[in-house]
Amino acid sequence: MMDADLQAAYDLYRRDPNRFITCIMNLQVYGLHSSLLRVFGSFTTEGELTGLLLRYSNICLAADADGMAGEAFALIIDEENGLAGVRGAIETVRAISPWLRRYQLSSMEISTFMRLDEPVRIPEDTFERVRAVTLDDLDLVADLYSRAGVMYRSRMNVKNMLDRAPESPFFAAEIVHEGDRQLVSAALLNIMSDEAGLIGGVFTRPEQRGRGWAARCTAAVALTLQQYGRLPCLFYENPVAGRVYSRLGFKEVAFWAVMYLHLP
């Protein structure tokens, strides 16, 4: 894509915000010329932009109006190295899969997109149990996410996230266990654009689940976003998490898909 195509990308977003919001967020934050982001577009024969494919780190984000860009996006994905997966509008991701030749599909799961258009419902005693996280908490945060399975984040990744605080809100619940401080749950901001913020990294230690920690941490991040004048939004794959977010006021507005890839 070129700079001249940016207006067309925003037009796509305005026509279907829930489908294109994460693509636009990344374009706003990183821009077309960032070394961290590569942006491709699908076009009609008349030159009309119909879809966006973004490569960031080891994933791609993909969205188009109806899945017709699947073949074109698959050709691009097959040329990329080091991809772990594709996340995007469900029709788009499903349309990509049959056209892949170099990469093979490991698995696919449905991801529900939620947004919070009303004031967040704050659980009782949230800010008595949850606090903002800073760089001084690096060891505690790294320990928490080292146990997070598929949500694992390296110490360097954790440091990069904490370096962005407080502009990028990050809240955690802390307890004292056998005399030692311990973070038992956390929620953070993956990315924030001019209009919205994408909440992620919501993780609670297994032995501490069912006590409302994740709801409190997520509510704290959502409230901060709303105070910044941004729309809180997030994805979930686990139905239990979806029920937690619904109680905070988040509404399901779109279905996405996550396609995990591997090379044979």
The pLDDT, as a whole number, for residue 85 is 95
pLDDT in tens, 139-175: 999 999 998 987 888 889 888 888 877 778 899 998 8
Tokens of 27: 């374009």
- Please indicate, yes or no, if residue 190 is contained in any of the structural domains: yes
pLDDT in tens, 96-146: 999 999 999 999 999 999 999 999 999 999 999 999 999 999 999 999 999
Residues 232 and 143 in one domain: yes
Torsion angle of the four alpha carbons 153, 155, 157, 161, in this order, in degrees rounded to the nearest 10? 100
Please tell me the distance from the alpha carbon of residue 166 to that of residue 121, in angstroms, as a whole number: 22
Please tell me the distance from the alpha carbon of residue 87 to that of residue 92, in angstroms, as a whole number: 9
66: pLDDT strictly greater than 90: no
Residues 14 and 101 in one domain: yes
- Please indicate, yes or no, if residue 71 is contained in any of the structural domains: yes
- Give the range of the structural domain holding residue 31, as residue numbers without chain letter: 3-113
pLDDT in tens, 11-53: 999 999 999 999 999 999 999 989 989 999 999 999 999 999 9
- Global pTM reads 0.89
Averaged confidence pLDDT in the chain: 93
Domain count, the chain: 2
Tokens of 113: 């997109």
- Please indicate, yes or no, if residue 261 is contained in any of the structural domains: no
- Please indicate, yes or no, if residue 158 is contained in any of the structural domains: yes
Residues 150 and 42 in one domain: no
Residue where a domain stops, chosen among 113, 144, 175: 113
Residues 10 and 108 in one domain: yes
- Please indicate, yes or no, if residue 32 is contained in any of the structural domains: yes
pLDDT in tens, 202-216: 999 999 999 999 999
pLDDT in tens, 177-236: 767 888 999 999 989 998 999 999 999 999 999 999 999 999 999 999 999 999 999 999
Beta pairing, strands 85-89 & 59-64: parallel
Query: 62 pairs with which residues across the strands?
Result: 53, 88
- Please indicate, yes or no, if residue 121 is contained in any of the structural domains: no
Residues 102 and 140 in one domain: no
262: pLDDT strictly greater than 90: yes
